[in-house]
Amino acid sequence: MARTKRAVGTALVAVLALGAAACSATGGKNAQETGKADTPRMKIAMITHEAPGDTFWDIVRKGAQAAAAKDNVQLVYSSDPDAGKQATLVQNAIDSKVDGIAVTLAKPSALTDAVRKAQAAGIPVVAFNSGLDDWQQTGALQYFGSDEHLAGESAGKRLAEEGAKHVLCVPQEQGQVALEARCDGVAKGFSGKTTKLYVTGTNMPSVRSTVAAKLKEDPSIDRVVMLGAPFALTAVQSVRDAGSDAKVATFDMNPELVKAVQNGDVTWAVDQQPYLQGYLAIDALWLYKTNGNVIGGGKTTATGPYFVDKNNVSTVLRFASQGTR
C-alpha cells in the first residue's frame, strides 16, 4: 500500500511539474499569468465503457474537464458499455481526425484493433481505468489507473483482519476485467470463504433483490463487497430487506457513498481516485503532443488503491461535496 501511495504522489508531482514546464516553454507570458495553456487548440476524444446511471464516471469526467480547460483542449466524451460499440466510437474518433484518444479497456480484446488503427493513423492513445494487464499489447502509450488485483487482495486481507468469515463479492458485469480482478484479489487476500455473485448492473431493482435473495439463502455471509458506489448503496437496502447482519464494503465512491461511510452504513471504500484518472489521461496527451513527454516509463501510473473509512472520511467528504472524490 505504501509503495502504491508513493507512486501516485510521484506521478502526480511529475505531471504537474511537466505541465508547468511545457506551459512555460510553449505558452509564454499569457499562459503564465492565466494558468491556462495558449498552445494551439486541440481535440481529444475520451471514450469509456460507462453504463447509464453509474455516477463513477461523473468524477472521471470532472477530472478530464479540468485538464482540458487548463490545456486549451476540446474534450469530446462518448461511452458505451457494449465493447463492440465502444470500439466503433474509437473508429468514429479516428475518422474525425482527433488529436488524441483516451480510452478504457474493460474488454481489451474487443478494443485492440481499434486502438492499433488509431496509432497507425498517427493518433496517440492512452488507456486508463481498465485494462491494466493488456494496455501495452494494444499499443497504447501510457496507462493511468489502480492495480485492481492489488486493491482486491488488500481488501481481502482487511476483511480477514476484521474477523469476517464469509464474503460475498458482487460484480455488476460479467467479464469486465477490472471487476473480475477485484473479486479474484479479494479471494486471494481473504482467509475465509468467498462467494461470487453476478448481478445486472443496469437494473438496480434486480441488483437489490438478487443480493437480498442470496443473503436470505445463506445467512453465513457476514460481509458483502460491492464493486461500485451506487451498487453499495443498493446493497445496504438488500441487507435490510434480508434481515441480515452482514456489513457492506465497496470499491469506488460518490458523494452519497462517502456519507454512508460517515454514518456507518458502509464500513469502508477502496478509492481508485477517478478524478485523477480523467485528469491525467487528458493532460498526458497534451504533454505528449506539445512536448513529447511520456509518463510512467512504460509502466502503469498508479492512482490507487486508497482506503476511505471513518478515520479519514471527514477529509475526503470536503472534496466529495465538490464531486471530485
CA distances from 203 to 52, 157, 238, 257 (A): 10, 31, 14, 19
Sign of CA dihedral 77, 81, 82, 84: positive
Which of 28-37, 139-148, 312-321 is least confident? 28-37
| Residue 148 parent element (H or E) | helix 148-161
pLDDT of residue 37: 87
Q: In what order do the strands lie in the sheet with 247-251?
A: 193-196, 166-170, 223-226, 247-251, 266-271, 306-308
Characterize the bridge pairing of strands 266-271 and 306-308: antiparallel
pLDDT tens digits along 163-191: 999 999 999 999 899 999 999 999 999 99
Can you list the domains of the chain with their CATH numbers? 2-146+273-294 (3.40.50.2300), 148-271 (3.40.50.2300)
Q: What is this structure's pTM?
A: 0.81
Assign 8 a pLDDT band (cuts: 50, 70, 90).
very low
pLDDT tens digits along 89-147: 999 999 999 999 999 999 999 999 999 999 999 999 999 999 999 999 999 999 999 99
pLDDT of residue 18: 45
Assign 34 a pLDDT band (cuts: 50, 70, 90).
low
CA 248 to chain centre: 20
| Percent of the chain residues past pLDDT 90, beyond the cut | 81
pLDDT tens digits along 48-73: 999 888 889 999 999 999 999 999 99
Q: Which residues pair with 196 in a beta bridge?
A: 169
